[in-house]
Structures are given as C-alpha cells and as structure tokens.
Chains A and B, each alone.
Chain A
Amino acid sequence: MLANTKLITLCMIVKNEIRDLPRCLRSVKGVVDQIVVVDTGSTDGTVEAARSFGAAVLRSEWNGDFAGARNKGLVHAEGEWILFLDADEELDAGTRDQLRTMALHREITGFFLNVWNYSGDGGEGATINPVLRMFRNDRRYRFEGRIHEQIAAPIMRHTPEARFHLSDVIVHHYGYRREVVAAKDKVNRNRTLLEQAIREEPGNRFNYYNLGVEHFRAGEVEEALAAFRKAREGIDYAAVSYAHLLVKHETSCLQVLRRWEEALESAEAGLAWYAEYPDLWHAKGVSLAALGRRRQAAGAFASAIAIGRAPALYHTEDGMGTYQSAYWLGMMHEAEMDADTAAHWYAEAVRYRGSLLAPLYRLCRMMNVSARPEALAGFIGSRFALESPEAAEKLAGILLDCGCYEALSLWLEERLRQAGDGERAKLRPWLELADACARLSGSAGKTESHEVGRGAADLTKDAASSGFAGMGLTVGEDALESADGDGFMMDTALTGEGGIGLAASDAASGDRTETANTDGADHPGAIRLEALRRTEQWLGGNGDEALPPASRDWLPLLLSGRSSDATAAAQRVRAVVGTLLDGRPSEDAAAHQSAREGILVGAKALYALADRHLAQVQGASGLALAVQGIRLSLPFSGRG
C-alpha cells in the first residue's frame, strides 16, 4: 500500500456508541486505509475512542437527516472506495480480507455485502440480506433519504451502466438485539421519524415498508400489517426490488395473528410471482399445517427444500429451505405416524445446522413413543457423526431426557467398543445412568401386573389426602380456545445455543454458536450420575430430609416410575411435586424465579406421569395410534 494511495475509506455516523464502536473499528483494521467518522453529538467518549483508532472525526449537528449526515463524511473521503458501516456492526473475521481483493476490480461500481441481522436475544438465528455497502468514491454519488439512506438509486441515476457485484463478505449487525433496542429506544425513534417522513412524502412506499417493520418489531402486528398492505398497493412486482419482502412480511403478520386462511392466500399469491423464494413456500407450509392439511403442508415444505437456500436477490430468513423447512417436514411426517420419514428429515435438519436441539428431541421422543429402541440406536449410529466426546455426551443427555433408556444403552455399548480412553471415561457414567433410569422407571421388562392389589390398596387408603390435593383453583372454562388445526408450535426459532456440534455441512459459514459448556469442567455424565445417586438415597431415606436441590431434575422420573414397591416414598415424591406446583408468580424477583423453576419441574413431572399411563394403554387394541397421537402432543421436554 503506497503511502498516499488510499484504497478503501470507512465512513460512519455515530452518536453515543462507546459500547459498540471499538468492536466495529477493530474489525476493519488492516482492511481500510482511512476512517472518517461524523459525530452528531456524543457525550460518552465516543469521539475519543474513534480517534484512538486513527479516525478523522467531524462534528455535526443532528437534524434528523441520516443521509445528510453521511454525506458530510463522504466529502472528506480520499480512498478509491467508500465502505460504510454502522457502529453496531462488525466485519466478519473470516471474509473481510476479500474486500481488498475486490477493491482491485475497478470496473465494478458497487459491491453488495451480506448483512446478518441478529434479533431477539441472539439465539434465534439471523435474517440475511445483501446490501450495497462499498461503492466507488465519486463526487456524484451521495446518499438520499432521511431515515433509511439509499445509495444504490443515486448511483444508478448517475451511471446507468453501473455494474454491481454480490460478494461473500459478511457483516454482522447486532443493532436490533432486544437489549440494545431497549437501551436506545431505537424503535420508537425510528417510528417517529418514519411517520414524519410519510407525512412529507405520502407516495413513498418504502417508508410504509419500513414503518411496518418497526411496528412488527414492537409487537404491533395489526399496525404492521396495515403498513405493509399500504406499501404494496399498486406495486409493480417486477420493478420493485424488495417487493418479495413485502409479501413475506405481510404473510408473517397474518401468521402471528393466526389468520391462517389469509396467510395461505398471501403466500400463494406471492409464490405466483416468486416461485423460487423458499421463505414463501415455508410460510405456505406453516399455514397449511395450522389448517390441518398436513399432506399439502408436507408438499410445500418439500418444495422449499428443493429450492434450498434462497437465490441471492432474496432477503431470506435463516433456515428457510434448509433446516427450518426440514424440521417442519419431519413434524408433518411424525403427525402422520410415518416415523421413518420423519426421522430422516429430523436428521437432515441437524445436517444443515449441527447446533440444533429441537429435531433431536423430537426424533428421540417419536422413537420412544413408537417403542423402537434398536431402530433409534441404529439410526443415531449411522446418521450422526459426532465430532467429539462432548457432542456424544450432549446426545446422551437428550436420549435420557426423552426416556430412551434402552436405545441409549444399545448405542453407548456400540460406541464404547470403538472409543478411546478419554471418551470411555466420559461415556461410562451415561451407561450407568441409562440402566439406573430404566430400573427406576420400571421399564426394564417387568409388567404392571405385579402392582395389583398391594399398590392399589395402599393408594386408596390415602385417597383423600393425595399429594396433589388442595390446588384450590378451578380451571377456567375454555381458558384457551381449542387449538387451531393441530396446534403445532408456531415457534420456528430453533435454539442454537449450547449446541452439540454434530457434523454439519456448512463449516465455511463460521457457525458462531460453538459448543459451549464443555470447557473441561466436571463431565456432565458424572455430575448427573452423582445427583441420581443422591436422589436414590433420599428416596430410600426415612423422609425427614428435604429434597436435595440437584435431585429436582429427577422428579419427573420418580413420579412416573415404578415406586409402588416403596409406597411411602411415592407419597413423598407426590408431596414434593405438589408443593412445587403450588408456586405462583410474585413481585419479588427471587421468589418469582424460584417459583417458576419449581413449576417447570412440576409440570414436567406431570407430563411424564401422563405419558407413563398412556404408554400402558398403547397396547390396547384399536387405541394404539390414538394414544400415540396424544403422547406426541404432550409438551416438549427440554424447552422453556
């Protein structure tokens, strides 16, 4: 790099960004040759921080005009290229160096970078959209638009033959994470500005679009829907580049409002224009599923998968056409009692994104309900390549949580045969856990007929004083409307945190959710086993001591298991669970949290108890499928 030839200038506008700015500027080190920062009135040390990174800082008064503020900085840029970022963004470490190479292609007018928008609290995946972020430094190219500044339009106006290129460079944008939004009240500010812009330019549909987005983020879905519809009025689908987004957002609003028929219509209308947009196929599938038309829903999800990742010109949500669609397709087949096909698609979902947990839970649960332990063990062994002992432990935990004790034993035995010493040490406790749980749950081969008479009589003596008595509440009539369609969880966001690290095909994406909680602490298997031992001790004790806190997690197993051989113990378990179920929300944060955790465990215990009773009925002729359907509808363990 010659001393006085600058290739890339970073231009930014900031105000009170001390928290995020350093991260951003660190990420451009070595990539850009000049940094120009326009500050509109910081009071928190932002200016000093910027200067410490070598930036030239211009102070300017803030008058509500984003474009104007940016343009002030452009005047001082000396590089051949202008790169612009926001303070709450960060260049991706793995791909940023490509910018220097791309900058050598001077025949290109502008480069699109892939902005990954993280929303929620970070665990729910990202929406990805390609945006123009690096362009030739030309005096005629200036930003337009007060709130959402545009540069592509002005460029094309001045240079009709301009060439653009979509790069692979990724920009991580954290600005809409919940806590950040709350801290800066960005949503309301944007909304005010947008409403002002609409008053000034009533015909500009882009403002309505953005207003809709802000309303949606604030949870005002009806208003968002109205704004999107206004934006879509009379639109020329072929000409407006973000028109597909309008359709998608409109469909999303209708889904959140549970207006499934309309959502379906909206998706289908959109598909007439954008047949290659997997998000719309996925939305169509979700709506059909909610309407109970599972077969057609499966077809829609399959179409989404056939397309795969959306073509570059679409703003797509992470997982559309890949792991989300595969997951839903699995759920459709599960509901049709087609376990093998469902298992395949759950495995596919994990293949797309190795950190997913929900498909694994569903897979194990489904196989447990249809009572096929060997099939499950075999399936896991052949379909999942576990890269580390930690991954194996996580999977073992899931199998245990879902009650797949026999499958766990079978699979572990096979795996231990080929395992190294380190792994063997970590996995052995799980084998013991599997056996212990099988014993406690009474599923180790013994039938229920042994419980006749004695168990029954003992229980009836205390009939009136059952541990659950005195709940006090009467259940409100129809407290919830009966479920739409089949009541699939509309929560399409799959947790990526604390993932397993199963073999995934998209290693290049630099999956940010790495395997957490495995940094050499006590092995989870050993910890759990210890907790179980202590629980068994408590169970066999004389009843004076309170339940050890670590044993709480074992209550579901204790409640639903065969404890009729120690009926006093069974009563104690019930008493403990009953107390937990009495927990209520509270103003005191600590008490509230404790009560909430108690309810979670208590509810899980009841689900486990119900599942056990149902499992025993499943053999009755003519009821097998009906009961399986009930068991698969039970709330999921491992969430919440």
Chain B
Amino acid sequence: MLLGIHVLACNEEDVLGRCLQSVRGLADEIVVTDTGSGDRTVDIAKAYGARIVRAAWEDDFAAARNAGLEAARTVWVLVLDADEWLEAGYDRTSLRRMLREAQEDGFSVRMESRYGHEANETLSHEAMRLFRADCGLRYAGAIHEQLVRPGARKIAVDGPLCGLRLRHDGYLPEMMARKAKAERNLRLIGKALREEPDHPFHLYNRGVTLCQLNKPKDACAAFALASLFAPADAPYRASLVRDRAKALLAIGDADGAAAMLHREVDRYADCPDVQLAYGDSLMAQRRALEARGAYEAALAAGAAAGGSVREAGAGSFRARCGIAAAEAALGRAEHALRAYAAAAAEAPRYGPALAGWAEQLQAVGENDEAIRAALASSLGEAAPGDAALLARVLGGIGAYAAALPLWREAKPLAPAEIRAYAAALAGAGDAGAARALLLGWLEAPRSAKSVGAAETETAAAVEGTAANRRQTDAGFEHAREGVAADIAQQLAAGAMAEKVTQMQTQAPATARQQHPLFAALCADAALCGWEAGMPLGGTLREMLASAHGELAERLSAVERYAAPYVAVRSARTPGADAGLPEWLPFVGLLLERALELGLPRLAGRLAQAAPALNERYGVTLYRHGYAQAAAGRLLRGMEQRAPGAEESFAFGEILLLKGLYGEALSMFEAAMPDEGVGARAKLGAAFCSLALAREALLPWAERATAEFGGGWPLADLEQLQLAIIRTEATGWRTPWTAVQRRRMNVGEHEADHALHDR
C-alpha cells in the first residue's frame, strides 16, 4: 500500500472529524494513535475506517508518534495532528504518482496556523510531514518532536515542498484554554530541560509557552537565556529574536528591545518579522523617523522573493500600518493616509488598517458618508461580519449617524458589539434607544452552555488588548500607540470593566452575568437612562442586586446624589451613603464614561456631585476633546486660584493652537515640576522655544542665497525643522481621537453631541 495517514489523538472528539474528513479518499489506510481518550475519539476514528493503535501516554510526544509509525503498513505516511486538516485543492492522482516516482525520503508541507480570529492572524511555516515509513525515520524529542534519521547523531530530515497545505487552529485562544495546552507544554519542556539543561531550543519554546500563558516577564528571562546559547545558524534564531522583542515590548522595556534588535537587524535584513519588530520597538521609544525606516525595510524584505515570513502581513500590510503610524506621528497626514489605504487594499478586513484609514480620512476633512463609501468599496464582496466591522470602525471615528444603519443590519451581536452599538446610539443623540438596547441584552434569558466561543473570545480579545496596551504604556498617561481608535475605546472599556468586575462579590447566577462586560454594560445602561431622563428602573436594579451587590449600591447612591440635578424621579434607597468606600473614584469613572459617550451635560451634573471632581472638571473636559468648553472653565478657575499643573498644561496647548508661543511657553514651564504631566510639559516648552526661534529666523530666510550647503539662516532653519519634527514625534501633545476632535468647538451647554459631519 502506498500512502497512510497517521494521527495522534487524545480526547479530540470535536475536531477529529474535521481532520479525517479532509483526507477521506486520499490514502490507503488511516492509523489513529490513541493515548487514552475518554470521549468519543475512538468511535469517530472507527467510523472513518481508521485502525486504532493504543499507546500509553508517558509525557513524550515522540514516543507516542513512533508507536503509530511502527504499525504502518504503507510505504509512505502523512502525519497530521487532530486539530489540523488538509486543505482541499490537491490533486490525488498526481500526488500518488509523485510518491511512486520519488527519489527523496520525505517532503515538507506548508502549515498555516491561526492564532486569532481577526482576519490575517495566521502564522505559516514548513514542516516535514510526508515521508517514507520503511527507512527508519522516527521522531525524537519529548516535545516539539523532530523527524530524524536513525544513528548515533540525530540529523533532522528535510525535504522539498510537495504542494500540500495543512491548516491548524490549535493556537486559537479558546482552543488553548480548553485543553490547558500551555500548562501541559510547560511541564514537558521543563522535563526536557532537566534532561538537557540550557538547551537553547527548549529554552526558546519555554519562552513561547510562557507568552501563551501571559507571563511575559518570565518569558523574557527564558528568551534571554536562549539567546546566550543559541548557535548563530540555528533555524529558529530569527523567531527567537522576534519573540524576545515582543516579550520585551510587552513588559514595557522598549529600550531593551530596540537595543537588542539594533544588533540583530543587519543579519536578518531579509526577514520581515524581525524588521517589523524593530519598527515597533522604535515606535515604542518614540523615534518615529527611525521607525519609518525600519518598517520600510520590512516592506522591502517582504517584497523580496523567498522571504522567511512567519507572521502574515509582517512584510506587507502590518509594515504598511507601521509606516502609516510613523507618518502620522511625524505630522504627515497625507502620507499616513496613503499608507493606510495601501494596507487596507492588501488586507481589507485588518482592523488597525481600517481604523487608521478612517481616522486619517477624517483628519484630512472627508465627510462621514465619503468615508463610509471608501471603506465599503474596499471590502469588496460582503462577508458575514462586515457590517459589524464597518460599524465599529465608523463608530470609532465618531461617525455615529453613518454607523447606525450598519448596526441595525448586523446580527448576531457579541456583547462588545452591543456596547459599541449603544455608544453609537448615545453619540447620535438617542440615549433612550441605547438604554433599551442594553437592557434587551442584559435581561435576555440564556443558558450557561450556549455562551458561544465567539462571545468569550471577543471579550478575551478586548481584555487582552487592554492589558497589552496598558503594559506598553511607557510613562505617558495617554500613550499614543498607533491610531486604532476603537482600541482606545476598548482600553477605556477595559479599565471600566476591570474596575467594576472587581466589585463582584457574589457568585453570578446567569451566564450573562458571568460575562466580563456585564457590569460595564449595566453602567452604560444607567448612564444612558439618566441622560434620557429615566431612572435605574426595577429590573436593572434587581439584576444588579443579585449579581453585583456593591455595584448596585453605588449606582443607586450616585443616582440619589445626582438626582437633585437630574430631572428624574427616582426611588430612594435607604442606607446608601456617600461614605461608601471608593466613592470618588467610582463617580469619576462614571463621569469619564459619560464624556466618552458624548454626554457632557450629564457629566457636568455628575461632577457637581463631588467637589473634588468639580475642580478638575476643566482638565477632564479638555482631555476628552471639549477644548472650547474646557478653555472657559480653565480661565474662570485661574482667576480664582493658581492653576494646577494639568490645567497649566491644557491651557498651554490651547494657547499653542492660537500660535501664541511665548505665552504657551510660560504655561508649560509652570507645569514642568509635576510628576504626572511634567515630561510632556518639558517637551512642550522645548517645542515652544524652537517655534519661537523659527519665527524669528524666517524673515531673514528670504534674503539668503541658496549656496551649496545653504547659507545662514537656511541651514539653521533646516535643522530646526528637523528638531521640531522629532519633538512632535514624541507624542507629547494630548492625543485626540477622531471622536474627540469633533468636539473641539462644542460649548459646555450646547447639545451633547456634535452631529456635524466633520
């Protein structure tokens, strides 16, 4: 017999069928090695006509696989894992002919692993999977086993590509979590390290596994050790460099990542992943000029044929998004726009590309309808989920009116999407509808089991993104990490969600209440209700009381105190007191959320409920983009007392917008001693000084003759321009999202939302 399929399985009843179905009819026998399944794995295998080989599991992948190979009755074997499947489109006849005529001992296949649900989140590499069973080739290595030739020295076997493609989804977060794969791998790697201490390959894998377990600090240590011992030509070294950089960035060590990559980047000039990582680390160091160069190198490496790309898009759309972010940081909006558009053309559903593109289109003055049209045409043929994707992106830049029709179309909606939909409704001025929508989801009876994978993982993605963003935040309060506006919103969601989830005291009763976003959605519902003039309401109160007791108490308390200012009748809850612990932060959080939703009137009332908040309210308004409203408040405040550092800073920025560099300089200098805003104030002061110098030199530039090299003051002006660009690239200014930019001229007592198109 010519060809046999060999699968290693243990408790894989949900995926084994997919695997075996994909190879149906290709081979002459199927061998499934079972290491002790307790579910229907064996039955499913038998249903496909497989022969079962039972092997005891001894924490050794190689041994288990070899057990199956021993039982092979075919000349050739194709090895699959249960969570893999063969991609359709191969030609059975020519494949079998190739095997009959082959001189080689083995062939490699192209592997594509999905690690996330966003479009284009795949890794690809090559693996030896198709080989002769009768010349002694066997597996070695308890984990990450490799095919080797028999003999004293284990030589890894290699072979040309045969055109087959395998797909793998075992890295998806829910798959990993379900099977606790990461913990198991860690155990096995530990065992391997005890046998071969300091073996760099095991150390590398240990680092990777620790990253999967969200322990980047420990991963860094493992990677560092691996780097010490890894030989220069090790095939995994490029991946080691890249993964180590990512881990360093995750713990906020941008300097370490950049320094390490600076040494490595020449050696891996044709590896887009490494160049991309270098670009990311330079951006984290706020060196946008250098970052742009690195991203361009990534693009060039990706364009070169035969590049060793692992992460999809490293040499194409991801690099383009990096270039775009760098151009935006350098203040070149047109270039940023082009780069985002190019990225979206390559990867139409890549979130950051779409979000960045939308933001830049808005920044250059396109109206919302034009933006929607551009994005929609880029998506091309509609796929499920497109409506929600577009709606999220449009909501992210504040184009609520354009987003609403899309939300209405999109079904079904995950909780995070519900939240965004409600925010769009609130932003468009219909707080009542927002509340109704939220309550609709909150009250719906659902059984525990059908909390779908998609819902938990979206929540996980939200949390994960938020966690990552917080970790890479290096010193600035409002880090400007690329321009994915919806990620910024999710950050806020994450902060809010985490805070409220901490208050969870009792075990949740329903599956809905289990969801991490539950509390946040309740808070949103409360806020929208107050805005629309509706009290908390009985059902909401009861739901909260049963699951999140503290939250319920506090919301009621807020309502009670906000009540005199809110045109609402509400029930009095006896016992609630402003002396509740953490009262101030809680109200502050609600206030921020209200501003995010575009409800400054409500936020103003909430601010009045606590004097400390009221004092800072000018700065808070400013941070959320209500510059004009803030200016009025700040001026009034400064008349009464000396301004705090944040107020001086905000005022300085306002003066800067009017070109009053000298006055702005004084304001920034006043803010410099402050710990929180001091660094940005110093950069602002430096910027003002340079801008003043430029102003002074310009009149002299007209008379200058351009010699080779440029006489004075042209040479000075050129240097100044460069210094100013670099200063701006550090991102010291308050970063305003597209949503916030729309609010600049909104007065405090005007309509709550800027319905303008621009």
Contact = CB atoms under 8 A, between A and B. Distances in A.
B89 interface: no
B648 to A, nearest CB: 7
A469 B660 contact: yes
A566 interface: no
Interface string A601-631: 0110011011101101100111111110110
Interface in A292-313: 292-293, 295
Contacts of A630: 686, 723, 726-727, 730
Contacts of A508: none
Contacts of A609: 685-686, 689
B6 to A, nearest CB: 49
A491 B715 contact: yes
Interface stretch (B433-441, B568-576, B704-712): B704-712
Contacts of A452: 673
A214 to B, nearest CB: 15
B686 A599 contact: no
Contacts of B662: 466-471, 578
A486 interface: yes
B642 interface: yes
B725 interface: yes
A466 B665 CA distance: 9
Interface in A79-99: none
Contacts of B643: 460
A476 interface: yes
B666 A596 contact: no
Contacts of A610: 685-687, 689-690, 693, 723
A582 B695 CA distance: 10
Interface stretch (A193-201, A368-376, A477-485): A477-485
Contact of B255 (A256, A467, A473, A622): A622
B529 to A, nearest CB: 42
A464 interface: yes
Nearest to B662: A468
Interface string B564-598: 00000000000000000000000000000000000
B10 interface: no
A626 B682 contact: no
A23 B662 CA distance: 56
Interface string A446-469: 001101110111011011101111
Contacts of A627: 683, 730
A616 B672 CA distance: 10
Contact of B715 (A473, A482, A489, A620): A489
Instruction: Give the interface centre of B694, B695, B703 by most chain A CB atoms within 10 Å.
Output: B695
B726 A599 contact: no
A613 B258 contact: no
A102 interface: no
How many B residues are at the interface, by size bracket? Answer: 35 or more
B670 A456 contact: yes
B673 A480 contact: no
A547 to B, nearest CB: 18
B713 interface: yes
Given A482-B332, A581-B692, A613-B682, A626 B719 contact: no
Contact of B721 (A256, A482, A636): A482
Contacts of B285: 622-623, 625-626
Contacts of B717: 479-480
Given A483-B725, A625-B258, A614 B673 contact: no
A455 B700 CA distance: 35
Given A599-B700, A621-B474, A607 B673 contact: no
A370 to B, nearest CB: 14
Interface string B268-295: 0000000000000000111101100100
Contact of B709 (A486, A493, A635): A493
A461 to B, nearest CB: 9
A603 B723 CA distance: 14
A635 B716 contact: yes
A591 interface: no
A622 B713 contact: no
A330 B475 CA distance: 32
B700 A623 contact: no
A492 B703 contact: no
A622 B667 contact: no
A475 B659 contact: yes
B286 A487 contact: no
Given A606-B693, A622-B285, A617 B683 contact: yes
A611 B691 CA distance: 13
Contacts of A606: 689-690, 692-693, 696
A610 B694 CA distance: 12
B691 A475 contact: yes
Nearest to A640: B712
B104 interface: no
Contact of B699 (A480, A493, A585): A585
A603 B696 CA distance: 7
A384 to B, nearest CB: 26
Contacts of B715: 489, 491, 635, 639-640
A635 B719 contact: yes
B709 A626 contact: no
B718 interface: yes
A620 B679 contact: yes
B715 to A, nearest CB: 5
B698 interface: yes
B492 interface: no
B722 A463 contact: no
Contacts of A255: 708
A624 B474 CA distance: 12
B417 interface: no
A240 B290 CA distance: 43
Contacts of B290: 629
Contacts of B690: 606-607, 610, 634
B562 interface: no
B528 interface: no
A75 interface: no
Interface string B672-685: 11000001001101
A475 B695 contact: yes
Contact of B682 (A449, A616, A629, A636): A616
A584 interface: yes
Nearest to A608: B689
B36 to A, nearest CB: 50
Given A482-B332, A635-B720, A459 B670 contact: yes
A52 interface: no
B710 to A, nearest CB: 7
B254 interface: yes
Contacts of B563: none
A622 B284 contact: yes
Given A602-B696, A626-B285, A487 B673 contact: no
A219 interface: yes
A388 interface: no
B323 to A, nearest CB: 13
Nearest to B679: A620
A626 B692 CA distance: 22
B250 to A, nearest CB: 14
Contact of B692 (A471, A493, A634): A471
A599 B718 contact: no
B118 interface: no
Nearest to A599: B696
A618 B744 CA distance: 32
Given A480-B721, A610-B689, A627-B730, A475 B682 contact: no
A487 B722 contact: yes
Nearest to B668: A613
Given A462-B666, A482-B721, A622-B254, A613 B730 contact: no
Kindly list the 3 A-B residue pairs having the minimum CB-CB distance in the complex, ordered from nearest. A468-B662, A491-B709, A622-B474
14 contacts: A448-B673, A460-B670, A468-B661, A470-B662, A482-B721, A486-B722, A585-B699, A599-B697, A603-B697, A613-B685, A617-B686, A639-B712, A640-B712, A640-B715
Given A474-B659, A493-B709, A634-B723, 5 more contacts: A490-B708, A606-B693, A606-B696, A609-B689, A626-B287
